[in-house]
Structure 1
Amino acid sequence: MKLYDVIIVGGGPAGLFASLELVKENSGLNILLLEKGRDIRGRICPISQYGSKCANCKPCSITCGIGGAGAFSDGKLTLTSDYGGVLDEYIPKSQLDELINYVDSVYVKFGGTREVHGTDKEKIRDIERRAAAADLKLIPAIIKHLGTEKCYDIIKNIEDFLIDKIEIKTKKMVKEILTENGKACGVVTEDGEKYLAKFVVVVPGREGADWFKRESERLSLETKNNAVDVGVRVEIPAVVMEDITDVVYESKFIYYSKSFDDRVRTFCMNPYGKVVVENNEGLKTVNGHSYKDIKTDNTNFAILVSKEFTEPFKEPIAYGKYIASLANMLGDGVIVQRLGDLLSGRRSTPERLKRGLVEPTLKDATPGDLSLVLPYRFLQSIIEMLKALDKVSPGIYSKHTLLYGVEVKFYSSRVKLTNKFETQIENLFAAGDGAGITRGLAQASVSGVVVAREILNRVK
């Protein structure tokens, strides 16, 4: 049984940036990072590598491993505190903005781009006016697009930098967090190995949301439910939104449905990108990637409906997974449907897809009927959002537009934290998407930095 100073559970952006910060000043701390997935070089998806169908790899190399789900995302760094998480509820906005700039500089150090999008205020103002006329709100932001393939290189560079400075164990699933006398003292893995440490940092990402929820309940940590986001991924010809994506790259539109007043938003826009499958422990959902150097003729983005649940319901993650399981049941994975077929009340077929003007970039999707999967409330809000977006970018509300389903964001229940992201158990910290406080690369990375700096202060 080995004793460490710090154990980090999870090798995503929060875990990696906590590690980088802890070794930055040659602190001499003995650090262990445990990750249930593979190292970055071992993360090979059969779909992207060989063009085959999803092989149900366990764990999924798209969502798990060093770099987290962000390693194979389109790699957008949002250089604003307005979205990407709720860290501004814990940290003053001015401090958060400084930290975002800091993590950006670290990404640049390891190979990130210096090119930014969203700085042309006059053109952005024009998009805002068009959006307002359609009852949409544009949230402008300065964004860097790292690119899916560049993300891999950056994570590889970070892992290579850390490999001789901390101990990294991959394919190690943590089963339980250990405590003694109200303090964190280590972890136990699924294979029964016990590791002890003075500080435990839990950053399991979205993939570990269920596990951390169970552990929080077992440890009697106070939590509250986040909203569940359920929706579809939209695929259109890239030229339809070119005048917007060339200016802001990631266009964040917010809409409140007329039928139900539910909050609907665009998310993870991928100009000239491709639609992909994510495998969450056997549950297949849809996402999008966008490469830096490889372009397709299509743009894809998610439309997500956010739903806050009240008492007595306490299982938003299970609810989202249930909806995704319906799509898997009907379509053997992800379903794709033309908007025209959905509005006509019929399923899409391979023949109807071939007659469409948009060629699907996800070849593994099954033509089907999303109205058999999504609840009416969600579907109606999505259709309203598409109509509103069509007023800003004519061509979105076309019968040829492709809808993939379902896309679900499994945000973890948010555990009660201090402004240093310490839980109610002393020396047990939680951060990143897995703690329910971030929703993107930049703020997840920031949360890891904040935790590491607090640990260094205590050690000193």
Structure 2
Amino acid sequence: MEKYDVIIVGGGPAGIFTALELIRENQNLNILLLEKGRSIINRGCPINSSDKKLKCQHCDPCAIVSGWGGAGAFSDGKLTLTTEFGGVLDEYIDKSELESLIDYVDKIYLEFGGPQEVHGDITPEVENIMKKAAAADLKFIPARIRHLGTDNCFNILKDMEVYLRERIDVKTLCAVKKLIVEKGVICGVETADGEVYNSDYVVVCPGREGSDWFSTEVERLNIEVTTNPVDIGVRVECPAIVMKDITDAVYESKLIYYTKSFDDRVRTFCMNPYGEVVVENNSGINTVNGHSYANKKSNNTNFALLVSKNFTKPFRSPIDYGKYVASLANMLGEGVIVQRLGDLLEGRRTTEERLKRGLIEPTLKDATPGDLSLVLPYRFLKDIIEMLEALDKIAPGIYSKHTLLYGVEVKFYSMRLKLSNVLETQIKNLFAAGDGAGVTRGLAQASVSGVMIAREILRRI
């Protein structure tokens, strides 16, 4: 039985930045970081092999969403340098402090090789888009973005892993089974292999992939939670020229719309100019996502359209609901389904022949042509169609019959713990950070949450 000063559960950005801040401020600390996935250099998906016929092998753990760097390791690596979205940390600290912390973690990403260029400053072009959006009943939120790129993001996280392995204990392929608590105080963790590690401080950063495990532990330990909304929708793919005016002006834009039929909130998310649509495995369920690279481009742009739904009592399982909807697509299409917008509007499925006749070449070759109306509830589809109609007013051509819709895209961040302003749970010295704790939704604020916790632990030590 080993004793550590601090144990960190999860090697995503929240866990990494907890460790970085701790060790940079106090090199004498004995720190253990446990990650259920692999080292970043050993993360590889069979689908990306030379055998293009391979389908998802349901690897355990999944190399795409688990391992050093978390699910964001193979994302397009956008650092959102704003407090407007990417998390709710401004509910725990002042916005001015959050802005300062975002700037702080941004500088650390630069130290490890992040690019100097920042997108999204307010220009006359941006102001013109904002004016057009307002006329279309869209709220346009430009944001300053540092785009790392999927390839650069991988290298940055690899260098961070090398740096930390030289200074702390890192155990990969080591899942945590349970948190050990005595008399309301955290004492350590027990791994799936039966190993027990003790510590006065434990930081849990499970990410979205570990949210199911964490919710089970939270229930067992009677930690108070609230239910976040679940976001369900599609990934849209169109010719890059259609979105060029917007993506040239603001690399990552957030557009929000409240639908006429149901007054539901629909938003764009993770816009990838000249990018690719990809499959993401969530505990055996295939969902869709998007990447863009720093050093290679496609002819298309993709982005998510997500409908946010808050569920009320007695329903308390939004994660299960989201997975159920995604599993319907897997059942019908043996994975991700793709459908042309025109076919959806005509009430027919997309076929291989219709897809080939389309003007857009899909970047996700493994998607099955199908019918999303058999998967997504009517309300969600109606919301998405209305949002596309509104978007067409600022990006003419997006409401084309050839536009591709991939389904489904689901964001699993539905459990939010009751936390103090230093992100401590009701259990003394047990902290929770990142997307899995329900307080962040992106690289920048997830990293900030780790720094916040590290500084509080350093103060207590």
**Fold in common (TM above 0.5):** yes
Structure-2 residue corresponding to 1:74: 76
Structure-1 residue corresponding to 2:436: 434
Deviation at 1:457, TM superposition (A): 0.5
- For 1:257 and 1:405, the matched residues in 2 are separated by 20
CA deviation profile, 1:314-347 (whole Å, cap 9, x unmatched): 0011110110010010010100000011011111
Q: Secondary structure of the residue that 1:386 maps to in structure 2?
A: helix
- For 1:30 and 1:220, the matched residues in 2 are separated by 29
Structure-1 residue corresponding to 2:38: 38
- The gaps in structure 2 that reach 5 residues or longer are none
AA aligned to 2:275 is: G
CA deviation profile, 1:108-148 (whole Å, cap 9, x unmatched): 00011110111142111100011111110101111111000
Q: Which residue of the other structure, out of 97, 100, 114, is the alignment partner of 2:99?
A: 97
AA aligned to 2:214 is: F
- For 2:300 and 2:354, the matched residues in 1 are separated by 18
CA deviation profile, 1:61-100 (whole Å, cap 9, x unmatched): 1111000011110100000000000000001000000000
AA aligned to 2:377 is: P
AA aligned to 1:64 is: S
Structure-2 residue corresponding to 1:336: 338
Does the CA-based 8 Å contact 2:268-2:304 persist in structure 1?
yes
Identity of counterpart residues, as a percentage?
A: 70
- For 1:48 and 1:241, the matched residues in 2 are separated by 28
Does structure 1 residue 446 correspond to structure 2 residue 409?
no
Q: Secondary structure of the residue that 1:392 maps to in structure 2?
A: coil
Q: Which residue of the other structure, out of 240, 255, 276, is the alignment partner of 2:257?
A: 255
Structure-1 residue corresponding to 2:184: 182
Deviation at 1:191, TM superposition (A): 1.7
Structure-1 residue corresponding to 2:324: 322
- For 2:203 and 2:106, the matched residues in 1 are separated by 22
CA deviation profile, 1:169-207 (whole Å, cap 9, x unmatched): 011111111011211011111121111111000000000
CA deviation profile, 1:387-431 (whole Å, cap 9, x unmatched): 000110000000000000000000041010001000000000001
- Count, aligned residues: 459
Q: Secondary structure of the residue that 2:154 maps to in structure 1?
A: helix
Deviation at 1:46, TM superposition (A): 2.0
Structure-1 residue corresponding to 2:388: 386
Structure-1 residue corresponding to 2:26: 26
Does the CA-based 8 Å contact 1:11-1:68 persist in structure 2?
yes
Q: Secondary structure of the residue that 2:393 maps to in structure 1?
A: helix
Q: How is 1:52-451 mapped onto 2 (pairs within 5 angstroms)?
A: 52-451=54-453
Q: Secondary structure of the residue that 1:172 maps to in structure 2?
A: coil
- For 2:45 and 2:331, the matched residues in 1 are separated by 22
Structure-2 residue corresponding to 1:458: 460
Does the CA-based 8 Å contact 1:210-1:412 persist in structure 2?
no
- For 1:245 and 1:128, the matched residues in 2 are separated by 13
AA aligned to 1:402 is: L
Deviation at 1:56, TM superposition (A): 1.8
AA aligned to 1:344 is: E
Does the CA-based 8 Å contact 1:77-1:146 persist in structure 2?
yes
Q: Secondary structure of the residue that 2:401 maps to in structure 1?
A: coil
- For 2:240 and 2:277, the matched residues in 1 are separated by 13
- For 2:92 and 2:45, the matched residues in 1 are separated by 37
Q: TM-score if structure 1 supplies the norm length? A: 0.99
Does the CA-based 8 Å contact 1:79-1:144 persist in structure 2?
yes
Does the CA-based 8 Å contact 2:189-2:196 persist in structure 1?
yes
Does the CA-based 8 Å contact 2:9-2:206 persist in structure 1?
yes
Does the CA-based 8 Å contact 2:229-2:414 persist in structure 1?
no
Q: TM-score if structure 2 supplies the norm length? A: 0.99
- The gaps in structure 1 that reach 5 residues or longer are none
- For 2:330 and 2:160, the matched residues in 1 are separated by 36
- For 1:109 and 1:47, the matched residues in 2 are separated by 33
AA aligned to 2:439 is: I
- For 1:47 and 1:120, the matched residues in 2 are separated by 40
